[in-house]
Structure 1
Amino acid sequence: MTCVVRHLKPEDEAEWRRLWTAYLDFYETRVPEEVYRTTFARLLGDDPQDFSGLLAEVDGRLAGLAHYLFHRHGWKVENVCYLQDLYADPEVRGQGVGRALIEAVYAEADDAGAPAVYWLTQDFNMTARRLYDRIGTVTPFIKYARPA
């Protein structure tokens, strides 16, 4: 298997939609068409420090995505990097696609001078957590959200 990670391009929209829809399905959620259009446009924006997308090609076929952004942090002078979305097609899981995408985000953070990369996952996502435990450090923080 050959995995190549690259930046999202305008002509990737159909396959990006397929991958992101599968990601949203995994989390049992849906977003309106306006969110698809807006997110894709933001991912292609002129400022890579804003919101960016990476795709993983496996043997020439798009099989994974990562969305990440940089933001200010109250405890650091430099921006930090938030890996917001990460997805690999089920048929390529366990073959290094997720690792390649995360390592590509690490490289983007290094290039941007961001000293930290972080992400969230659900506690029951054991498949992903096996990878995350190898290439990241679990933190003691618990996420809270404003009630809907």
Structure 2
Amino acid sequence: MISIGRLTEDDRAAWENLFAGYNTFYGRTLAPELVDRAWREFRSGERMHALGARLDGELVGIVHFFTHVSTTSADVCYLQDLFTDAKARGRGAGRALIEAVAGWARARGCARVYWHTQTSNTTARRLYDQVALDKGLMQYQIPLGP
């Protein structure tokens, strides 16, 4: 049975491992100070939020999210990162994490929850196509950093 809840101090090592797996999937390695910053933000729960999925007491999935204003609706919730351990995939952790974020956002009056994924991420998209609408939007970026 999958259970969803806030991360605790005791989850730090398992969360870091899952977050590293997520970043590896997208071909990046985060600097330790960014990992530390994210953990501090999640622990304070003011600007950025995180939940974990547990299977038999073990942290097997994570989701990171935050709200932002919108010019056309009430605030919206952006689901930025979602990752489950390979051994837990197909057991409902991803779906449960998405549902938990939607419930959290609904309780705070958000108009919607949205996220991005690569078009080639067919495994995740099978789930996403079941729980959300594909609005057919493309993402453009202007990198501003070094």
Q: How would you bin the TM-score normalised by the shorter chain?
A: over 0.9
TM-score (norm 2): 0.95
| % same residue | 37
Do residues 120 (structure 1) and 119 (structure 2) align? Answer: no
Aligned length: 144
Per-residue CA distance 1:2-39 (angstroms, 9 max, x = gap):
10000112221111101100111111110100001000
Q: Which residue pairs with 2:28 in the alignment?
A: 29
Give SS of 2:44's match: coil
Do residues 137 (structure 1) and 133 (structure 2) align? Answer: yes
Do residues 70 (structure 1) and 67 (structure 2) align? Answer: yes
User: What are structure 2's unaligned runs of at least 5 residues?
Assistant: none
Q: Distance in 1 between matches of 2:57 and 2:29?
A: 28
Matches within 5 A, 1:1-148: 2-47=1-46, 50-76=47-73, 78-147=74-143
TM-score (norm 1): 0.94
Q: Which runs of 4+ in 1 moved over 3 A?
A: none
Q: What amino acid sits opposite 1:55 in the alignment? A: G
User: Would the alpha carbon gap of residues 143 and 112 (structure 1) be closer, same or farther in structure 2, given more than 3 Å must change?
Assistant: same
RMSD: 1.0
